[in-house]
Amino acid sequence: MATSSSDPLLLPMPCRELPRTGWRASRLTVGGVKWDSHIPEAEAVALLRRAMDLGVNTFDTARGYGKGESERRLGLAIRGRRQDLFLSTKTTERSRDGALRDLDASVEALGADVIDLIYVHALDDEEDLRKVLGRDSVLDALREAREAGRIRFLGVSGHWFKDSMETLIREADLDAILLPVGLFNRAYGYSYFDAVVPAARERGMAVLGMKVFGAGRVKHAASIEPYLRYSLHQDVDSLVIGCDSIAQLEASVRAVKCEPPPLRDAELPGLEAEALAITRSWDKGEFDWVRHYR
Ligand SMILES: NC(=O)c1ccc[n+]([C@@H]2O[C@H](COP(=O)([O-])OP(=O)(O)OC[C@H]3O[C@@H](n4cnc5c(N)ncnc54)[C@H](OP(=O)(O)O)[C@@H]3O)[C@@H](O)[C@H]2O)c1
């Protein structure tokens, strides 16, 4: 909670326009993995409302988070405030019919007639890409929904199949991507900034970034601040962060509202060493990145 007039929490939230959408998004988007079922409903709703009060105007969830629970809780939190917010969700369905069923369920859970952005969730390997680009696919469903005015924008999210993602954004007319942009990712040498982000920018797409805190690895770091500073100064419009308490949320909001400068070159080697050491000792966690890439 803000306690004095010098508290950075009282500063305005920095915003940046999401290309193609016309939406001035808060530099932080609050993501919905951790408030699906890891915390009680009332805490989740309070966390989301606190985020809105602090100037967060962009929220990210997915049909799959907590089997719809994340969407439902976001739906509770946005009542009366929908018009001031940009909402994204995701579908892991790859068929047209499956994606349309997911869309119906998302609309009901969120209680929002129109969803701003839906991502093809977690794009995987070449086989997955073929399904997404195939006939009667999720893309057909989302395009139909966009034409019908049920959703406004289409995107794709992914964690580590950057070649598939680059192909998809070259072959399909998408509006946004969500991909890893964290210092942890840089430390293990798998970056989307080489080719995927430039390809998206050539097409004027919005770029949203996740894994800012390495899916929680940051709690073993000396401070969250350099990790936020690193990602804030990449070519990303809004950082989608996870948090499961108001204290975690406020720590990130406070850091971002201070508009910190980029990391200095001299700071990077020590931070990369810290990120790698944490990742090496990470006990499986959400993703065993080292096993994938080293
Ligand atoms: N499209 C996709 O395929 C996809 C995949 C994953 C995530 N996402 C989106 O991205 C969002 C963020 O997920 P992420 O995986 O990228 O997570 P992240 O933001 O890199 O890490 C979030 C975790 O970092 C820890 N944390 C946050 N603030 C902290 C603080 N002040 N001090 C100490 N620890 C702190 C918490 O871990 P603890 O909970 O352990 O305390 C929190 O749950 C998700 O909610 C979701 O919206 C999308």
Q: Which residues of 196-218 are buried (b: 16+ CB within 10 A; e: fewer)?
A: bbebbeeeebbbbbbbbbbbebb
| Helix boundaries (H) for 54-124 | 69-77, 96-110
Site of tokens 């805490």: 43
Distance from the CA of 137 to the center of ligand 1, in angstroms?
29
Report phi then psi at 23, rounded to 5.
-90, 130
Question: How far apart, in whole angstroms, are the C-alpha atoms of residue 197 and residue 187?
Answer: 18
Distance from the CA of 100 to the center of ligand 1, in angstroms?
28
Taking the CA of residue 122 as reference, the ligand 1 atom at the shortest distance is 3
- DSSP code at position 261: P
Task: Tell me what pLDDT residue 34 has.
Answer: 77
Distance from the CA of 134 to the center of ligand 1, in angstroms?
32
> Which residue lies with its CA nearest to atom 1 of ligand 1?
157
188-244 pLDDT tens trace: 888 899 999 999 999 999 999 999 999 899 999 999 999 999 999 999 999 999 999
Task: Tell me what pLDDT residue 294 has.
Answer: 42
- Domain borders along the chain are 25-293
CATH, domain 25-293, list 1.25.40.10, 3.40.50.280, 3.20.20.100, 3.40.50.1370: 3.20.20.100
Taking 70 as the pLDDT cut, the residues of the chain under it are 1-5, 283-294
Residue 256 identity: V
Classified as helix, coil or strand, 287 is coil
Classified as helix, coil or strand, 204 is coil
Site of tokens 């080697």: 269
Question: How far apart, in whole angstroms, are the C-alpha atoms of residue 90 and residue 1?
Answer: 32
Task: Tell me what pLDDT residue 289 has.
Answer: 54
Taking the CA of residue 178 as reference, the ligand 1 atom at the shortest distance is 1
Helix (H) or strand (E) holding 119: strand 115-120
Q: What residues does ligand 1 touch, defined as CB less than 6 Å away?
A: 31-34, 60, 90, 121-122, 157, 159, 178, 210-216, 218-219, 224, 240-244, 248, 251-252
Q: Which residues of 79-109 are buried (b: 16+ CB within 10 A; e: fewer)?
A: eeeeeebbbbbbbbbbbbebbbebbebbbeb
> Max CA-CA distance within the chain?
58
Burial of 69 (0-12, 13-18, 19+ CB in 10 A): middle
Distance from the CA of 32 to the center of ligand 1, in angstroms?
9
